[in-house]
Structure 1
């Protein structure tokens, strides 16, 4: 099973991009989760941090009695298995992306999310859990037009926020071999989409692409 994540910014054509990628046979790229998966990734990050703080003996967590006998304050006493928690988080993420009844139909699953501002580092946790992941960082090429959209026009700070978020996406993608930087304008350039599909290791179906572009739903 391979994974694709679209880390995007609102009103950038990310839904059109999602539909284009869903033209890949046996793929299922779902929509936004209101940051739910990122909460799980943050949980995974924090539970690893908890393990690093928990007293151990040869990688075995000390019991409460062992801590007390060793005169160790049990503020960080814990008794969970990291691998078990890790597998539970992985299974929960997969269950959010696809049902157990339909998972066998797909070789690629994933999702798009627009709530990665100041949280792009959590994508590293996803890749740690699922190494066979490719990420598309997607943004608009026209900040002024984006600021005037219904989504952003009522926020007086939207321009600075969008600029900051764009820079975060650009910087993240520039430092990762498994990331591809995508712009809204490129969605309508079949040569650019073919480059993206090459990055994904897939062949673009031009007829399916034309169907999406003829009805972008944006």
Structure 2
């Protein structure tokens, strides 16, 4: 993977940025894969727990010269082997998944709208040289734009918690990882000079090509729903600190 585009929540402009990147013919940024890397992380945590529980068994077994006459049921490799197995598994999965139409493209990537620090940490270890685009939108506007029929969030509270947790993670990653680029959707739509210049550089396209994508509304766009005062209050309460940091309050 050369580019990983991660949005804090749905309706944050990830498809728009994906289209901008794909304006370059040699770039192929695929769509979402429904957050499946969260399951890899869950596997990692389960095996890590076994490794900790079986630590004494593992130590005793190898110190005894591999004597089989002892309790071995939970003996599991050390944590560093579990981490490396997870990294190799994720890398193999993604590399094989995105083999389709790879020919003729020298930049390959995907976008996702479900990942926070857990998944992004694995991805950074898998692809330390990949550009990591971290996309955020005002949570009030993102929730207003989210269709009820999609059904992935049970409430405005769940949505707000995901936004807040992921934005906190994104800000920390952007400070620590030189490959990470933090993008605010509102600045892109407003054609903020610094944001536009950064995306043009990353996408390796011209300003005219970027403007051509911004000007074109496509199928898949959805109508806004009415956001109730109660929902707005919940979102502001949960997300207040990071909304202030980003100038949304």
Please tell me the TM-score bracket, short chain as reference.
Answer: 0.7 to 0.9
Contact 1:170–1:181, Cα closer than 8 Å, also in 2: no
- Give the alignment's TM-score, normalised by structure 2: 0.65
Alpha-carbon offset, residue 111 of structure 1: 1.4
- Give the alignment's TM-score, normalised by structure 1: 0.73
- Superposed CA offset, 1:6-29 (max 9, x none): 234112221111111222452221
- Superposed CA offset, 1:41-81 (max 9, x none): 44345545555655546xxx96xx93633x2x2232358x8
1:94 aligns with 2:85: no
Contact 1:5–1:133, Cα closer than 8 Å, also in 2: no
Paired residues in the alignment total 204
1:162 aligns with 2:159: yes
Which residue number in structure 2 is paired with residue 108 of structure 1? Answer: 107
| Equivalent-residue separation in structure 1 for 2:45 and 2:26 (angstroms) | 31
Q: Which consecutive aligned stretches of 4+ in structure 1 deviate over 6 angstroms post-superposition?
A: 153-156
Secondary structure in structure 1 of the residue aligned to 2:117:
coil
Larger RCO, structure (CA 8 Å, separation 6 or more): 1
| Equivalent-residue separation in structure 1 for 2:47 and 2:106 (angstroms) | 29
Contact 1:41–1:126, Cα closer than 8 Å, also in 2: no
Which residue number in structure 1 is paired with residue 180 of structure 2? Answer: 179
| Equivalent-residue separation in structure 2 for 1:142 and 1:89 (angstroms) | 30
| Equivalent-residue separation in structure 2 for 1:67 and 1:85 (angstroms) | 29
Contact 1:10–1:151, Cα closer than 8 Å, also in 2: no
Gaps of 5+ in 2: 222-249
Which residue number in structure 1 is paired with residue 18 of structure 2? Answer: 18
Which residue number in structure 1 is paired with residue 145 of structure 2? Answer: 149
Which residue number in structure 1 is paired with residue 224 of structure 2? Answer: none
Question: Structure 1 residues 152 and 108, CA, compared in 2 at 3 Å: closer, same or farther?
Answer: same
Gaps of 5+ in 1: none
1:211 aligns with 2:212: yes
| Equivalent-residue separation in structure 2 for 1:107 and 1:51 (angstroms) | 40
| Equivalent-residue separation in structure 1 for 2:85 and 2:170 (angstroms) | 31
